[in-house]
Structure 1
Amino acid sequence: MKTFRTRFIEFVSYFFILLFCYASISKMMDFENFQIQIGQSPLLSAYAGMVSYSVIIIEILISILLIFERTRIPALYAATALMSAFTIYIYLILNYSDFVPCSCGGILEDLGWTEHLIFNIFCVAIGVASVILQQRVKTNGLRRSIYFLLLSNFLSCLIVVALFFSSEHIIKKENNFTRRFLIHPVIEENKLDLKVNSYYFAGEHNGNIYLGNYTSPFTLSIVDNSFKTIQQYQLVPPKSKLILKNLKTVVRFPFVYVADGSAPIIYRAKLGSSALNVYSFKDVYFNDYVVPDSTSIVFRAKSSTSDKHVLGLLKIEDSKSVVINNDMILSDGDGVFSTDGKLLYSSDADKLIFVHYYKNTFSVSNLDFSGLQHLKTIDTVNSTKLKIVTKQDGHRKMAAPPMIVNVNASTYGDVLFNQSNIKGKFESQKLWKKSSVVDMYNIIKQEYFGSFYITNKNNSGMSQMLATQKFFYTITENEIVRYRYAQSVSKHFQTGKAENLKKE
């Protein structure tokens, strides 16, 4: 006749068999999604491949061992230890994670993380009770069972904690290209139809967004705080016979700048005034520029001696001076093509940033190019993959479309927002096709801390983005969208001294 002890042990065994079989089968039936979930875990991202296979194998093995009476007790030890590992995992998620991800699916898909924690504690409790009830009838059995329970559960929890700290270091410092998608880091708040798709971001001040226009280069447009209308006024340059082909508008309060580095000329006017004045003429030739303050311009230019891009600092007021820096932009030997990229300036951090288009490199320096650091994005494309041919007239051009790594970038404070063109590990192909991905880096701490998706419009990806103190803006086709930051992002905006962390 079966006793209460025997029936309880059988009940716990069958309970774990049902739980682990269902869990493992559901994981195998949707294995790709399971790997994606593990890859987005804030604790185990770096080990998603190993963990996804290991968990399924362990659950199946424990289920098989629980069937046979001879192996049932060792299997109960293992089941209890596994549930302890799951329990400490959830505890770390709730108390030490940068963010709390969505709850996992399967048999407990309707439970939140706190309910999961309670359920797991219950499973550990009945597992411990079943082992103790089985062993207490034996000589020294109770003491031995308690010892093994403590040891096995401690080791399982220790493994999870070790994986957590190791994964944190790998993801933030030595990333093997596993993205960490934060939960709603930016939330769509408003949008406005611009009617045409020729706008680009020229700057921001006091909540107003200033837009330049590729097809109407002397038109300055303003989207105000209400985000309901767009105002426009014409900038009028002095009469000139100059042929202007590549005008770019930049707003740096209280001025608006319109420049063509091939002329080369820089116009400037007070915001609100239509009359542009010549600010610089024939001082330097350039193909891109940023405005750090009212007395200087940082520009990117093609070097006549090295046939690659270099950066320069043009001091305009008082005595004009030019400082050329050859070290901030790294070349792979393909000259001007391999040194192409996005030039940025973070006014709050007072840092220059150059993001390479064709490899996983961005460089950060002070305004005078001191304190230069070459850092890496999380993807693994560490050199440009370009096919260059030389024509009969000596001109060089690309023989095939290049593999673009970093599409676009923006910065505010200590944070670099980088639009990547490379799909990472354990990411949904379906979601990747209908979205643009933005990776975020803290340039002072020198670490990657998360990513988010921006949904495409009519199969067109985001063409422009602008990071400000309160909002993140995008332009997709003819639509400008305003997003509000979550605290998981805005907490990184505060500038501070660089930590002694590993540099590339």
Structure 2
Amino acid sequence: MRKYDPFIQTLICYLFIVLFIYAAVSKLMDFENFQIQLAQSPLLSAYAGFISYAVITVEIVIALLLCYKRWRLIGFYASFGLMIAFTVYIYLILNYSDFIPCSCGGILEKMGWKEHLIFNVVFVGLSIIAIMITRESVKRKLFLKLIVIGILSAGCVVILFLQSEAKISKQNPFIRKYLKDIVIGKHSYKLKNNSHYFIGVTNNKLYLGNRFAPLYVTEIDLDNYQSRELKIKIDQDDFPFRTVKIFISSPHFFLVDGTVPVIFKGDIKTWQAKVLSTDPTLYFSKAVISSTDELFVRKQDFKTKQNILARYNLAPSVQQFTTTSILGEATQGIFDTDGIPLFDLQQNKFLYVYYYRNNYVVANKNLDVITRSHTIDTTRLAPLKVI
């Protein structure tokens, strides 16, 4: 059987070269997605940036070592260590993680995690066979080396896992894990692109706007899930629109653009809109409709450069607005007070949820603060670095 050893060794060598080169290239071709998958890993999310580069680099280096006979033994030892690390990672995923994430890229994406585990164990065995053939004799030192390399590789993965858990759970950086399958869908409607946004629901119909086609609305019947495209007609179209948004407050709809001080109002039966207001101060970054004649916006104070809230009464006979600084003062730029405005039509209350801290503010229609409270998040203020 010894006469087949060179053939077996060469075959194993080529298998590892193909495996590592294919794995590295597939990760590089979809590198952003690979980083996202690592960031959503239940074990290593805190070190996703470093690991994404390290894994690809190690795979390419090992493949190069295996290409040269002089360095082939080192390449086999490195292959053994890397496959041990991958195997331990999968074992931890299957037994100690909060959820099972999607698998990595390439052809291996078609495998489940248990198949992945078997695949890795097979290649661990192949690396041991190749090392034994290369060394020509089985010695105690050889097994000692394999044991040491295996312990170091497994130990690195376990340490990274424990450090990542400590960093996320105790040091509390701005890292978020998203649980899978917490919402089970009843029905689905396939969109043609990802530029749609919700603009309202009325009479068992769902309406979607389109950022790429701002004057078009998709109407979806929630009874039969049939859809149709509607086009909004406006009485003036010579404004330099940049970020058009549509809101529905039945039976009316509003068309606004915070970069242009104009508001259109129309009827959802005809989808024709006329200019309602051309207040020269009506510039804003976020907006929410509370009624057919009222608009809440977040804008920037020209003097202080801070985010403030404003309430506009859009009734033709009134046309007035009030401002307030209930969002607080930003100490790290406007991101401190960045967030999303919402309005609860049932309770008639305004809600502002901050993006980068665990706070929210509830106010009445006059923007008088009712309460300030915290979400279940523990981040008081994210350590943002504006570059």
Structure 2 residue aligned with 1:134: 134
Query: Which has a greater percent of helix?
Result: 2
| 1:181-220 alignment, distance < 5 Å | 181-189=178-186, 194-195=204-205
1:361 aligned to 351, 357, 360, which one? 357
Q: Flag the 1:65–1:361 CA change in 2: closer, same or farther, 3 A.
A: same
Taking only the aligned residue pairs, the percentage that are identical comes to 40
Q: Flag the 1:133–1:184 CA change in 2: closer, same or farther, 3 A.
A: same
Answer whether contact 1:331 1:339 (CA < 8 A) is retained. Answer: no
Q: Flag the 1:72–1:368 CA change in 2: closer, same or farther, 3 A.
A: same
> In the alignment, residue 161 of structure 2 is paired with which amino acid?
F
2: distance between equivalents of 1:131 and 1:64? 17
Structure 1 residue aligned with 2:152: 155
Structure 2 residue aligned with 1:79: 79
Structure 2 residue aligned with 1:222: none
Q: Flag the 1:13–1:377 CA change in 2: closer, same or farther, 3 A.
A: farther
> In the alignment, residue 82 of structure 2 is paired with which amino acid?
L
> In the alignment, residue 356 of structure 2 is paired with which amino acid?
N
Structure 2 residue aligned with 1:25: 25
2: distance between equivalents of 1:179 and 1:6? 50
In the TM superposition, residue 105 of structure 1 has moved relative to its aligned partner by 2.2
1:146 aligned to 135, 143, 146, which one? 143
Q: Flag the 1:195–1:122 CA change in 2: closer, same or farther, 3 A.
A: closer
In the TM superposition, residue 372 of structure 1 has moved relative to its aligned partner by 12
Answer whether contact 2:66 2:76 (CA < 8 A) is retained. Answer: yes
Answer whether contact 1:136 1:142 (CA < 8 A) is retained. Answer: no
Structure 1 residue aligned with 2:162: 165
1: distance between equivalents of 2:43 and 2:68? 35
1:94 to 2:94 alignment: yes
> In the alignment, residue 111 of structure 2 is paired with which amino acid?
L
Q: Secondary structure at the match of 1:98?
A: coil
Q: Flag the 1:378–1:331 CA change in 2: closer, same or farther, 3 A.
A: closer
User: Which ranges in structure 1 are unaligned for 5 or more consecutive residues?
Assistant: 198-212, 217-246, 250-286, 288-301, 310-328, 345-353, 384-504
Where relative contact order (Cα < 8 A, 6+ residues apart) is larger, the structure is 1
| 1:246-265 alignment, distance < 5 Å | none
Answer whether contact 2:90 2:113 (CA < 8 A) is retained. Answer: yes
Structure 2 residue aligned with 1:376: 379
| 1:31-430 alignment, distance < 5 Å | 31-135=31-135, 137=137, 142-174=139-171, 176-189=173-186, 194-195=204-205, 309=326, 331-332=329-330, 356-357=353-354, 360-363=356-359, 375-376=378-379, 380-381=383-384
Answer whether contact 1:103 1:112 (CA < 8 A) is retained. Answer: yes
Q: Secondary structure at the match of 1:109?
A: helix
Q: Flag the 1:374–1:23 CA change in 2: closer, same or farther, 3 A.
A: closer
Answer whether contact 1:170 1:176 (CA < 8 A) is retained. Answer: yes
1: distance between equivalents of 2:33 and 2:339? 37
Q: Flag the 1:356–1:85 CA change in 2: closer, same or farther, 3 A.
A: same
In the TM superposition, residue 341 of structure 1 has moved relative to its aligned partner by 7.8
In the TM superposition, residue 77 of structure 1 has moved relative to its aligned partner by 0.8
> In the alignment, residue 49 of structure 1 is paired with which amino acid?
G
Question: TM-score when scaled to structure 1?
Answer: 0.42
Structure 1 residue aligned with 2:282: none
1: distance between equivalents of 2:176 and 2:374? 28
In the TM superposition, residue 40 of structure 1 has moved relative to its aligned partner by 2.0
2: distance between equivalents of 1:70 and 1:196? 67
Question: TM-score when scaled to structure 2?
Answer: 0.54
Answer whether contact 1:85 1:157 (CA < 8 A) is retained. Answer: yes
Answer whether contact 1:176 1:378 (CA < 8 A) is retained. Answer: no
In the TM superposition, residue 99 of structure 1 has moved relative to its aligned partner by 0.8
Answer whether contact 1:42 1:93 (CA < 8 A) is retained. Answer: yes
2: distance between equivalents of 1:17 and 1:118? 19
Q: Flag the 1:60–1:106 CA change in 2: closer, same or farther, 3 A.
A: same
> In the alignment, residue 168 of structure 1 is paired with which amino acid?
E
In the TM superposition, residue 129 of structure 1 has moved relative to its aligned partner by 2.4
Answer whether contact 2:172 2:378 (CA < 8 A) is retained. Answer: no
Deviations 1:457-502 (A, max 9, x none): xxxxxxxxxxxxxxxxxxxxxxxxxxxxxxxxxxxxxxxxxxxxxx
2: distance between equivalents of 1:99 and 1:378? 28
Deviations 1:390-430 (A, max 9, x none): xxxxxxxxxxxxxxxxxxxxxxxxxxxxxxxxxxxxxxxxx
Answer whether contact 2:342 2:352 (CA < 8 A) is retained. Answer: yes
Query: Which has a greater percent of strand?
Result: 1
In the TM superposition, residue 8 of structure 1 has moved relative to its aligned partner by 2.3
Paired residue total: 257
Q: Secondary structure at the match of 1:99?
A: coil
Answer whether contact 1:94 1:100 (CA < 8 A) is retained. Answer: yes
2: distance between equivalents of 1:82 and 1:340? 43
Deviations 1:169-198 (A, max 9, x none): 33344455444333222122269864487x
Q: Secondary structure at the match of 2:186?
A: strand
